[in-house]
Amino acid sequence: MSGKKKPRILVVGSMNMDLLAYGVPKIPEFGETVRCGTYDLVPGGKGSNQAFAAARLGADASIVGCIGDDEYGRTFVKELDSVGVDTRFLVFDRNERTGLALICVEKSGRYVCYVMLGANMKLDGQAVERALQAEKFDMVMMQLEMPEETVYATHALAVRFGIPVFLDAGPPMAVDFGRLKGLHILSPNEAETEALTGIRIDSDAGALAAAKELYGKAAPRYVILKMGSRGVFFYDGTIAKRMPAYGIEAIDSTAAGDTFNAALAVGLCRGEPIMQAIRAAQAAAAICVSRKGALPSIPTLLEVEVFLQKTPYPGHPL
């Protein structure tokens, strides 16, 4: 991986300060107090995670996002600058606070998240257009933690500039795929897939049915369903294949999906075959779930390369 070209990736999306509660024994009922373990306060959010991960994994990454003119917003700039993410296109909103997410992590590593999007909801297409006019990019990555019209505007602008779009379809929300036709990659997780299709993907048959439905709606080049510990399900209109996950003990799955997406985007922009890029992305996500937090858990390109050399792939050889 390290010997190939350095891709330029633009991430358009959310930036939330994460308050993480660990050792959560259960999700409480209304009025119930549940005693947990430790906590952390660290930068996160799908857009920030993906830009940070893309930079750590070898890309020239830039981010378009909206943050408050507050302490949390300044923390984001410092953290992203520290790994070389281009933060020139960030927008500071003086009337809104930086987004905040409360993330409750079970001992198994699974989590639930409550998010207050704040300034993220002020992000508009003009900010995206400024970035696309200023630089040339190999891929645009976006998510759904921003205004719906900004999602559509980002896709339309990328199409106009001839740039492939990677949509991480989270968090779950209704999407007009008629306005997103021709995505390069559509990649929801289990909950997002069920929200978009009404189909549970706890079996390969369910995953195939959901992938076919999404493929028909959005006409992407690839549908890649993230299935947690069961791996990922790949569909391109002809080939359907589940690729099992590496057997890593999960400590915290926060940012694992974002790390997977960023690693996959970097690999594809380097010209790697899709299956090889997925395998490397799974390795990056496996390292991520073995650590706590969002940005602190994201591995470097060298860490992923060492992992791939030392860890047997659980599926069929590629």
What does the pLDDT look like over 35-55, one tens digit per residue?
Answer: 999 998 988 899 999 999 999
With beta carbons less than 8 A apart as the criterion, state whether 42 and 296 touch: yes
Q: Is the four-CA dihedral 60, 291, 229, 200 of positive or negative sign? A: negative
Q: What is the pLDDT of residues 256-290, one digit of tens each?
A: 999 999 999 999 999 999 999 999 999 999 999 88
Quickly state the pLDDT bin for 316 (edges 50, 70, 90).
low
Contact between residue 129 and residue 161 where contact means Cβ atoms under 8 Å apart: no
The answer to whether the CB of 46 falls within 8 A of the CB of 128 is no
pTM: 0.91
DSSP state of 251: S
> Taking the C-alpha atoms of 274, 270, 12 and 82 in order, what is their torsion angle to the nearest 10 degrees?
130
Q: Is the per-residue pLDDT at 292 higher than 90?
A: no
Give the Cα separation of 112 and 102 in Å (integer). Answer: 8
Would you tell me the crossing angle of helices 190-197 and 204-218 to the nearest 10 degrees?
Answer: 60
pLDDT digits (tens, 9 = 90+) for 141-194: 999 999 999 999 999 999 999 999 999 998 888 889 999 999 999 999 999 999
pLDDT score for 4: 63
Q: Is the predicted pLDDT of residue 3 greater than 60, yes or no? A: no
Residue 312 CA to residue 203 CA, distance in Å, equals: 24
Is residue 40 among the annotated active site residues?
no
Quick one: tokens of 170?
């989270």
Assign domain 8-13+45-96+123-310 to its CATH superfamily: Ribokinase (3.40.1190.20)
Q: Is 254 exposed, middle or buried (0-12, 13-18, 19+ CB in 10 A)?
A: buried
Residue spans of the domains in the chain: they are: 8-13+45-96+123-310
Q: Which residues pair with 41 in a beta bridge?
A: 19
Question: What's the pLDDT tens digit per position in 89-146?
Answer: 999 999 999 999 998 988 787 888 888 999 999 999 999 999 999 999 999 999 999 9
**Are the beta carbons of 120 and 146 closer than 8 angstroms?**
yes
Distance between alpha carbon 296 and the CA centroid of its chain, in Å? 15
Write down the catalytic residue from 18, 138, 252, 258: 258
How remote is the C-alpha of 128 from its chain's centroid?
18
Q: What is the pLDDT of residues 4-32, one digit of tens each?
A: 679 999 999 999 998 989 899 988 899 99
pLDDT given for residue 318 in this prediction: 45
pLDDT in tens, 203-226: 999 999 999 999 999 999 999 999
Spell out the alpha helix ranges (H) of the chain: 46-56, 71-82, 125-134, 148-160, 190-197, 204-218, 256-269, 274-289, 301-310
